[in-house]
Copies of this chain bind each other. A is one copy, B any other.
């Protein structure tokens, strides 16, 4: 399993991804799921993937090699697509190509063609955008109304996002809340694990402000987890007792 979240706020974009992959619960490994593609000063693009690792690796390999855009005749990579929408289409084409190659065989073996992508970033003076691509290669885009998108196991980490994230929150708060959301998932789902990767892009700055790996020994994240646990305990302790019975 996987948990990745992208949060697009007025100040910029935060992307967070875990690194655990498993083929059965007795076969667990660490693979990076959050990737940075940047030409500082010109473009900065982040990609996070979930689902079948072989599929997401194949898609990234194709995207790195470059894929023909039938409309322009150009071989496209994330380093030359002209817009973020073109980047989403490029990845969608790569997903459809991998489906052509591997889809039928997977289905013969009773497996779904399952992979999802978060794609975020900015090219030149165009808007900073965040997309969620489905297995079929189509996509939705974050908006001020719904400024965050998740892939993998979204549920454990969703309540804090629903309550705390809005388009207006500061980017440092978006990162903090994203890390709390990741922590909730780590706590409740063994198939999501440390280390985690974080990417922060400030709107208008055409390079990553943060691209960092948080591991077991990361003091800030350890402190955040402890403080959050303590604060949750204090929070429910501060709520008055239920009045439903004198007995209680």
Q: Which residues in A have some Cβ–Cβ distance to B below 8 Å?
A: 153, 155-156, 158-160, 162-164, 171-173, 175-177, 179-180, 184, 187-188, 198, 200, 202, 209-210, 212, 220, 223-224, 227-229, 231-245, 247-248
CB proximity of A170 to chain B, nearest CB, Å = 9
Flag if B209 contacts A245 (CB, 8 Å).
yes
Find out whether the CB atom of A244 lies under 8 angstroms from the CB atom of B231: no
Give bound CA distance, A239 to B158, whole Å: 19
Supply 9 A–B pairs (Cβ within 8 Å), ascending by A.
Answer: A160-B236, A172-B248, A176-B241, A180-B236, A200-B244, A200-B245, A209-B248, A231-B236, A234-B235
Q: Give the oligomeric copy count.
A: 2
> Judging by beta carbons under 8 Å apart, are A242 and B179 in contact?
yes
Residues of B close to A212: CB separation below 8 A = 244
Contact B155 A232 (CB under 8 A): no
5 smallest CB-CB distances across A and B, nearest first, come from A231-B235, A155-B155, A172-B248, A159-B184, A210-B245
* Neighbouring B residues of A179 by C-beta, 8 Å: 242
User: Do A159 and B176 form a contact, CB below 8 Å, given A200-B248, A235-B232, A248-B210?
Assistant: no
Write the nearest CB–CB distance from A222 to chain B, whole angstroms: 12
Q: In the complex the two chains form, what is the Cα distance from A7 to B227 in whole Å?
A: 25
Cβ–Cβ < 8 Å partners of A155 in chain B: 153, 155-156, 188
Could you list 15 further interchain pairs (A-B, Cβ under 8 angstroms) beyond the known A175-B244, A210-B244? A155-B188, A156-B159, A171-B248, A176-B236, A176-B239, A210-B242, A210-B247, A210-B248, A220-B242, A220-B244, A227-B238, A227-B239, A231-B235, A231-B236, A231-B238
